[in-house]
Amino acid sequence: GHLGTETANYLKGHFLGEELRDWDVSRPAPYFGFEIPDVPGHYWYVWFDAPTGYIANTKIWCERHGESLDEWWRSDDTEIHHFIGKDIVYFHCLFWPSMLKTAGFTLPKKVHVHGMLTVDGAKMSKSKGTSLSARTWLEHVDADFLRYFYASKLGTGPDDFDLGLDEFVAKVNSDLIGKIVNLPSRTAKFVGATGLSAVYPDDGGLFQAAADAGDDIAEAYEEGDYQRALKRILALADRANEYVEKNAPWTLAKAAKTDPTQAKAVQDVCTVALNLFRQVAVYLAPVLPSLASRTSEL
């Protein structure tokens, strides 16, 4: 499996410098959880039984969809990735792999470790009003917006990050509205009647440059470096917006009212812009799936 550098160093410094001691997987009453069969008054330690829920939930899903559990948890063709907070690293990187190996299950290929989330600079607390439930959030704000904001903060290290509400609004308006959605909003209306150009126009290499970025973006996603992926994608959106600004289809459309030869120029510029937007939307699909779904209709 693979661990980030910070996580690997943490394990080496705290656990692997000396011989590992036995791990007590039971707790005496009073304790919550599952009582150990044939050992009344003793319960499985929560961090011994809780991770098995990953397999149990997979089993339920497999039963509902006619899948084999072994294809998911006992197959060399399956990649298992864990996404966890940095405070439970040793449970998932020492104890849990040992349990899996002993039981004959596939070990995780990679453990993605992230930092702690604060809200407007404060630790999440129900009593202090700094705690946000996902359900409450979804009732008021598009889930894609929050997913994008988190992705823009998440790299490969376990750094803490803050959900600053003012920053959240600014980033959504600046990136998603001002750069991404801005592309079709400024161009689609000009080709609503004519459609896109039958032959793709010369765009100065923009489409090819965006295509060439695909491998790097895919690699960043695979590594869990969402921040790097989004930076690369936004750079493509910036270049597309620069193209639209430079060629100003709104100006060409006005000229086309008196000079019909300009109509083809309008169509070509908008064709380039909308194709570049489609590329950007496809690259953003892991973060903004609903945008990619709507874009497929173009």
Residue 186 structure tokens: 């400024």
* Model pLDDT for residues 241-276, shown as the tens digit of each residue: 999 999 999 999 999 999 988 999 999 999 999 999
* Phi, psi angles (nearest 5°) of residue 84: -140, 165
Rounded to an integer, what distance in angstroms lies between the CA atom of residue 186 and that of residue 184?
5
Rounded to the nearest integer, the mean pLDDT of the chain is: 92
User: 168-174: long-range contacts (C-beta < 8 A, 24 or more apart)?
Assistant: 172/145, 172/148
* Model pLDDT for residues 58-107, shown as the tens digit of each residue: 999 999 999 999 999 999 999 999 999 999 988 998 899 999 999 999 99
Query: Which domains, and CATH codes, for the chain?
Result: 2-114 (no CATH), 165-295 (1.10.730.10)
* Model pLDDT for residues 29-58, shown as the tens digit of each residue: 999 889 999 999 999 999 998 999 999 999
Dihedral, CA of residue 33, residue 38, residue 41 and residue 42, to nearest 10: -50
The neighbour count for residue 210, using CB atoms within 10 Å, is: 25
* Beta pairing, strands 42-44 & 117-119: unpaired
Nearest residue to 225 (alpha-carbon basis) of 71, 127, 110: 110
Average pLDDT of 288-294?
89
Instruction: Give the confidence band of 123 by pLDDT, cuts at 50, 70, 90.
Output: confident
pTM assigned to the model: 0.86
Share of the chain above pLDDT 70, in %: 98
Q: Is the pLDDT of residue 17 over 80?
A: no
Residues 6 or more apart whose Cβ sits within 8 Å of residue 169:
none
The pLDDT assigned to 125 comes to 80
The pLDDT assigned to 134 comes to 82
